[in-house]
Amino acid sequence: MWYDRLEITDLTVTDPAGNPMIGTEKLLVNFSLSTLLSNNNINLDAVILDGADLKFYKINKDDSIRDLNINLFISEINKQFKGGGGQGNAKHINIGEILIYRTGFKLHDDQKIPSGMPLTTTTLTCLLMKPKPITLK
């Protein structure tokens, strides 16, 4: 029997500033063992987020640069795969589809715009979303 599905429950990912960035009741990853590490890339058939809270905060990257925590998270993942694909090529994570159910999105930036008005927190609740296939590079 081949195992080709990974399920993680009650997952929390915290950003470097201590903010909860990703929290999900259930994360399912579907893959085919024969293509999981094809050509040194990581190939996933589908990723399913169910009952998640995605909280994107503007945080300090260094003393003078601020960016969204999710961008910094992806940048760190990319650093781990840099040059790991053989012959000087970087590995890629290829995801066939992402399904998102019962998920809330929150975007927060505590900086003030030049007029002095604080930016507000933007919240979006998603009951079902099926985006086009994406590739993280």
Model pLDDT for residues 99-131, shown as the tens digit of each residue: 999 998 888 877 656 555 555 555 555 555 555
Task: Choose from 1-5, 59-63, 85-89 the range with maximum mean pLDDT.
Answer: 59-63
Q: Which amino acid is at 31?
A: F
Predicted pLDDT at 108: 83
Mean pLDDT computed over 17-23:
92
**Domain edges within the chain:** 5-136
pLDDT over 50 at 1, yes or no = no
pLDDT number for residue 123: 56
Q: Is residue 53 predicted with pLDDT exceeding 90?
A: yes
E strands along the chain, which residues?
5-14, 20-30, 42-60, 66-68, 93-108, 122-129, 134-136
Q: pTM of the full predicted structure?
A: 0.68
* Burial of residue 86 (number of CB atoms within 10 Å: 0-12, 13-18, 19+): exposed
Residue 88 scores a pLDDT above 70: no
